[in-house]
Amino acid sequence: MRRTTPVASLLPLLLLACTAARATERPNVLLIMTDDQGYGDLHFHGNDKIDTPVLDRLAIESVRFDRFFVCPYCSPTRAALLTGRYPLRTGVAAVTRGLETVRSEEVTIAEVLQTAGYATGCFGKWHIGEHYPSHPNGQGFREFFGFAQGHWDNYFDPKLEHNGRVVRTRGYITDVITDYALRFMERHRNKPFFCYVPYNAPHTPHQVPDRYFDKYMARGLGTREAAIYGMVENIDENVGRLLDKLDELGLAERTIVLFLSDNGPEGPPGSRYNAGMRGMKGTVHEGGMRVPLFVRWPGRFEANRVVKPIAAHVDLLPTIAELCGVANPKTLPLDGRSLVPLLTGRARRWPDRMIFARTSGWRSVLEYDERVVQDLHTLGKTVRTQRWRAADEGAGWQLYDMLNDPSQQRDVADDHPEVLGRLRTAYDRWFADVTKTPIVRPAIPVGYRERPLVELPAPEAYFSGGIHWYNRFGFAHDWLTGWADLEDAIWWDVDVVTAGEYEVAVRYTCPPDSVGTTLRVEAGRGAVEGHILEAHPPKPRLRPTRHPKKRFVQSFATQRLGRIHLSAGQCQVTLRALNRPGDQICEVKSITLRLLQ
């Protein structure tokens, strides 16, 4: 046995103690992001129609970024925010059909902080990967409460997910999300935590308690504005609850609070106040991409100070990492830069930069039926510098002088052809770089023991013949209808991680005359057949909302079909019908596969 001196034997313990001390000295991080809240949806930004006293106070207590930019849509912003990389690098090109999924090899800020000893929790809307390991629990968040899809259909007493388990809740969704975040902070008060709260409001559907809605209707606003402003005021109150909890726990001075939104306001152009900017959600103009960014750290950052240099979503990972004293991930290069010099006011010189973005394009959602997406370069695109915004919405490039024309009233492309040429060339180089790895609709991972149950949802399916999505676009929670021909089929690409026996079920609707339909599920060399034994007549109903927007929802029955053996590797899971007792076969919400231990 090798002998050691007493001092040498104590060294590991001393190092461990030092590491633990550094961990407890590290600041907490509370990152709050809202969904479809525009820059103008704050009283502080000149909107006298809305009351946001907590966020107004937070703005005054914070360093405020005057020109902070995100993507025109939600999933790309979330991918960039959490990875520090432009979304196309991460595999995210759209908001549905699997193209919202961050590749599992990407490294998130949660993984960076978890490795450094942080407790990590995500509470709210994820929307960058429904399936493990792109799910929050596979991307560095030890605790996840909320939903992983792009939207939720019911905001009152919703059924939500808590670490892979469905839970029934009571109350309004924003309040419930806050409840879980508060418990997380209380539970981890004695160690550094990263609490990410991506609220899903004020995204559609515009569901909000009466007291908020009635208040703004009484001010003479239309139903859309009244609902949205009511949802934002409720967010404001819940942000107040989060900040009050930090005070109650004595953690305010040890916690960095960041607040932002994921894109510009949703709705028709000019439908509500947006600080005089051109564009709304989904556009490559200022109003679609400029959002608030408030960063508060009492005693460390000067309150009520405005940062003028432009910044973007990709900057938050390196910024948070530096503030927390942890290294940036070494596996993949970052696109962002640390904003710490701007936050502390020590940046003597801050070089100009270019911030790039593209829009996923509503028109192209229906075209994503191929595995390798080809049309990315034809969609809206933009480059932003401190002075200029170059933008192309499909009809040709335009150029705007944002210092002298912040509302983008005059296209000056003809006056400054050399500037536009430089920015166009930069965009093309950037696009070629971020798409070196082709954008591919990912196969759905199946068989992780951390998540033995996997749902293959209709929006990620391929299909033939007359089959189509009920709500046309195939956004989250949609289902497949129009299945009447026995030659037609529905299939999914899957990647089986663990070979073995799987239990197969289908979620469906069918009228009484379709009872007895025989369904067959095929995968590789395996197959299983089963019968629809009970009717569940389709009863689509309009989704509740304060402002009418036609989207239908309905309930589904579940029919177990039996067991199938899946071999490891990629394959297709195909659903066929072998007979048709009635006029239609069935409507399909999803297939579920459960790994049997």
**358 with 430: CB under 8 angstroms?**
no
Token pair for residue 466? 């007359």
Task: List Cβ neighbours of 330 (8 Å cut-off, separation of 6 or more).
Answer: none
Q: Please report the sign of the dihedral spanned by the C-alpha atoms of residue 559, residue 563, residue 565, residue 569.
A: positive
DSSP string computed for 222-276 = -HHHHHHHHHHHHHHHHHHHHHHHHHHTT-GGGEEEEEEESSS--SSTTSS--TT
Residue closest to 546 by CA, chosen among 158, 161, 229, 263: 229
Cα separation, 375 vs 36, in Å, equals: 26
Extract the tokens encoding 267: 């709705």
Give the Cα separation of 213 and 226 in Å (integer): 6
Distance CA 467, CA 478 (A): 13
Under a CB-based contact definition with an 8 Å cutoff, are residues 574 and 490 in contact?
A: yes
Q: Check: CB of residue 254 under 8 Å from CB of residue 297.
A: no
Amino acid occupying residue 442: P
Q: Burial of 548 by CB count in 10 Å (0-12 exposed, 13-18 middle, 19+ buried)?
A: exposed
Q: Radius of gyration (Cα) for the chain, nearest Å?
A: 25
Do residues 491 and 163 touch, judged by C-beta distance below 8 A? Answer: no
Whether 255 and 239 have beta carbons less than 8 Å apart is answered as no
CB 528 within 8 A of CB 505: no
Q: Which residues are catalytic?
A: 74, 127
User: Which pairing describes strands 453-457 and 397-401: parallel, antiparallel, or unpaired?
Assistant: unpaired
Q: Is the peptide bond before 205 cis (omega within 30 degrees of 0)?
A: yes
Is the link from the previous residue into 265 a cis peptide, with omega within 30 of 0? Answer: no
CB 474 within 8 A of CB 365: yes
Cβ atoms 55, 239 nearer than 8 A: yes
Q: Show Cβ contacts of residue 164 under 8 Å, excluding neighbours closer than 6 positions.
A: 132, 135, 137, 450, 451
Instruction: Express the helix, strand and coil content of the chain in percent, nearest 5 each.
Output: 25, 25, 45
Instruction: Report CA dihedral (55, 58, 63, 69) to the nearest 10 degrees.
Output: -20
